[in-house]
Structure 1
């Protein structure tokens, strides 16, 4: 199995342009940025998806993501940003990482969520909403960590 590229950055065996480090997280510039200022936030704990991050660490991770969003936009003089997490599909490194990418109007990034697949009707939408709501209740009841 190939060593985790982000764990190597975290433990110092691989180099990166680090913008923040603390006991739980490391943030660094993406080596292949969409635009200059593209930052990745990773937990020190090796987990693959956001759902795998222990509940007790989510608040710190999310709060730092908010701070990074503001810092990237301010430092890069960007009016906005794209903040995203890929879970498994399209995840280039199997270690949870959140992207903060500075954005400007007409910057050329053709990011869109599509093609769109609408519900057949309101009954199908209601059924999907109910299934997701039930799973959410089940997870809350079990205290998933």
Structure 2
């Protein structure tokens, strides 16, 4: 008497709560689960691919997507708060979609926000560690 015959069921893992009408971006669940456990990606950086899918083995840590058929405002980007966020933009780029995505990402307060392109300007700092928001989308 007094001992358990069955091991207790593990407590349910907390799940990420998105604001009403929003959901995690594609490939965002592993990062959200890690954030809930108090973890951060190695190097404190993540990549967002606009209008394309990330490669199978992303070079810069977690990789999320904002697919061509989705509105950037439909996603909960808060899992990127405090991280260096690199946004990969394919050619040609819809400037309005990029501006909407950048506005959403700025709102989640990344440590840095950098746009990467295949054409000039190849690298553009939107939010820097030293000066904060440098470019308004």
Q: TM-score, normalised by structure 2?
A: 0.30
Of Structure 1 and Structure 2, the greater helix share is in: 1
Q: TM-score, normalised by structure 1?
A: 0.29
| More relative contact order, 1 or 2 (CA 8 Å, 6+ apart) | 1
